[in-house]
Amino acid sequence: MANVHLTGVEKTFRPDEIIVSKTDTTGRIIYANEVFLRMAGFTEAEILGKPHSIIRHPEMPRCVFKLLWDTINTGAEIFAYVVNRSKNGDHYWVLAHVTPTFDAAGKIVSFHSNRRTPRPEAVAKAAALYAELRAIENGHSDRKAGLQASFSAMLSKLEGLGVPYDEFVFAL
């Protein structure tokens, strides 16, 4: 998907629809509902077993995904605004809720994500923040240093607002 041309076309889904996917603990897709398949533009055969990052849009700052993975790997849930990329290069925004799934012994065995239609005013605010974070990431020749710098900037912004990430997301 890295070579997919971005069309600039935004796809939408109905407010009563929910995009659902499930991944193993390494982020490989083990389930995708019909809405996911339609929005992403893949068939089930094309998507199962692939990394969830196959739909990652280049305008999504990597630091948000670092926070997401850091959070869910502790057993906590997270909400985040995410812009995804369809197979054909279109894009679509979601309000994602990602949760770990536990076995009977309390071990994380997979991750489950529900995505709903986001509010346009929240998308505008998220997009502005994400542009700032991407600029920080892209301002470093070393990708790892760029990720750390943007992650630190995001945490500083949250600390300055006095809210955890989830509260920030809900306030958008």
CATH number of the domain bearing residue 42 = 3.30.450.20
Position 3 scores a pLDDT of 65
User: Is residue 67 included in any domain, yes or no?
Assistant: yes
User: Is residue 165 included in any domain, yes or no?
Assistant: no
Amino acid letter, residue 73: N
Calculate mean pLDDT across residues 62-66.
96
Domain count, the chain: 1
pLDDT for residue 41 is more than 90: yes
Calculate mean pLDDT across residues 48-66.
96
Inter-residue contact 9 to 93 (CB < 8 Å): no
User: Is residue 41 included in any domain, yes or no?
Assistant: yes
**Helix axes of 143-161 and 62-72: crossing angle, nearest 10 degrees:** 70
The predicted-structure confidence for 119-167, as pLDDT tens digits, reads as follows 999 999 999 999 999 999 999 999 999 999 999 999 999 999 999 888 8
The predicted-structure confidence for 88-122, as pLDDT tens digits, reads as follows 999 999 999 999 999 999 999 999 999 999 999 99
User: Mind spelling out the 3-state secondary structure of 19-74?
Assistant: EEEEECCCCEEEEECHHHHHHHCCCHHHHCCCEHHHHECCCCCHHHHHHHHHHHCC
Calculate mean pLDDT across residues 12-32.
97
pLDDT for residue 1 is more than 80: no
User: Is residue 62 included in any domain, yes or no?
Assistant: yes
What is the extent of the structural domain holding 47? 19-118
Position 166 scores a pLDDT of 85
Q: Per DSSP, what are the bridge partners of residue 108?
A: 102
Q: Is the pTM of this model over 0.85?
A: yes
User: Is residue 166 included in any domain, yes or no?
Assistant: no
